[in-house]
Chains A and B, each alone.
Chain A
């Protein structure tokens, strides 16, 4: 009898820390701690031929970055999520909502036409925060380090094959319409482009911190990441592709998700 009780107790004790590690908050996924290569690790024809404007080299060099474990929303924040936030806080609805209400049938579509401050307020209201640029890129890679795209390098795909991302569309799609990436996250590439917490500096990668980088201390623009529904094929869908926006801007292609 004693050995059986001891074995059961041992198993329970051993499982507790494991359960604590894997029990992510509802609707979130844990991204494990560790290193990953952030940025573009290869040259392109446009760059080699000196046809690339200065800012387009903002994704080089690639840096081996160490991140602590963190949680990230499985889906982009939806209209329904945002409506609850507005109801609780009395905030202003996005201008494209008719009479301040969610467009019919768009509850599961990602919120857009929200600026950085509104996105930041939303995340804080639910006890979360916007992800850093490094967190966002690690999550978007889905464990496929040093790959150009979240699925696989496009050289392997037929030119007209459908991409596993909500891109090349007329509008945003309901979240989770396409398959998740290696971490179980949906729409990291495609659907809406996402606000991150970092200021944008095209020269940041040259001298960036290698452990839990938080972005430049200040700036004019905020970094946004991930190709959007309006993108076709190409570099804008790459995991390392960087872009930026005025934090006051409300765009029909920019939404967000939260981290913790």
Chain B
């Protein structure tokens, strides 16, 4: 009897050990969705797309072997926001020069040269006139004419604090509103609204204008077309009297 009991116990123990190694029938298994459900999207490295990944996404993994790498997008990515902010920055530097004690213009050529460096030699520009004895926009052909306008602007305007307009819908952090379009003939066109506060050098009277810029960059990264449209000039109160 004792041996019989011991044998039964040994058989039971052996059976339970075997049972532990044998797969559990599905009906007896607890569902584990996280492991068994199919993935919602394929892994990023498996189906890369030309579009940039969302900002919040982690950095993409190391590239797969060459055989499975898709071709890169044909045109290099252009940071249009940077084009816009750089342009505004250069506009704002146009008053960064001074008159010496003996009346010489110190640094004017430098800021004008820096601004003009972005333009193609045959640039076409349509710009507002700041002359009370002129009616209509200035249609300028080439950098020689454009430079005259830029020099006059730099000589007559000070305290430039031009802002590229930021916009927000519901969140606090605003976006630079730079609109862009790839051009069929190469390059990219961008447009953006600006807030343009400034003072006149001659009397320091302050003004505010709202404007919109259209720029067409060629494949050479130079501006081939420059259009600037400004609203009516509004005097800003609180400026120094003449």
Does A30 sit within 8 A of B, measured CB to CB? no
Known contacts A54-B139, A203-B140, A206-B149, A62 near B134 by CB under 8 Å = yes
> Which B residues are in CB contact (< 8 Å) with A37?
135
A60 near B136 with CB under 8 A, answer: yes
Does B138 sit within 8 A of A, measured CB to CB? yes
A54 near B141 with CB under 8 A, answer: yes
Does B156 sit within 8 A of A, measured CB to CB? no
User: Which residues between 19 and 61 of chain A lie within 8 Å of chain B, taking CB atoms?
Assistant: 37, 39-43, 54, 57-58, 60-61
C-alpha spacing A171/B183, complex, angstroms = 48
Size bracket, chain B contacts: 10 to 19
User: Which residues between 123 and 180 of chain B lie within 8 Å of chain A, taking CB atoms?
Assistant: 124, 129, 133-142, 145, 148-149
Question: Footprint of B on A, CB under 8 Å?
Answer: 37, 39-43, 54, 57-58, 60-64, 202-203, 206-207, 210
* A200, chain B: closest CB distance, angstroms: 13
A60 near B139 with CB under 8 A, answer: yes
* B69, chain A: closest CB distance, angstroms: 43
B129 near A61 with CB under 8 A, answer: yes
A39 near B145 with CB under 8 A, answer: no
A62 near B136 with CB under 8 A, answer: yes
A40 near B124 with CB under 8 A, answer: no
A203 near B136 with CB under 8 A, answer: no
B141 near A61 with CB under 8 A, answer: no
Known contacts A63-B134, A64-B133, A207 near B139 by CB under 8 Å = no
B133 near A41 with CB under 8 A, answer: no
A-B contact sample (14 more), CB < 8 A, given A40-B136, A63-B133 = A39-B136, A41-B135, A43-B136, A54-B124, A57-B139, A58-B139, A60-B136, A60-B137, A60-B139, A61-B129, A61-B138, A64-B134, A203-B140, A207-B145
B133 near A206 with CB under 8 A, answer: no
A203 near B134 with CB under 8 A, answer: no
Partner among A57, A61, A206 whose Cβ is within 8 Å of the Cβ of B135:
A61
Known contacts A54-B124, A207-B148, A202 near B141 by CB under 8 Å = yes
> Which B residues are in CB contact (< 8 Å) with A39?
135-136
B136 near A41 with CB under 8 A, answer: yes
> Which B residues are in CB contact (< 8 Å) with A210?
133
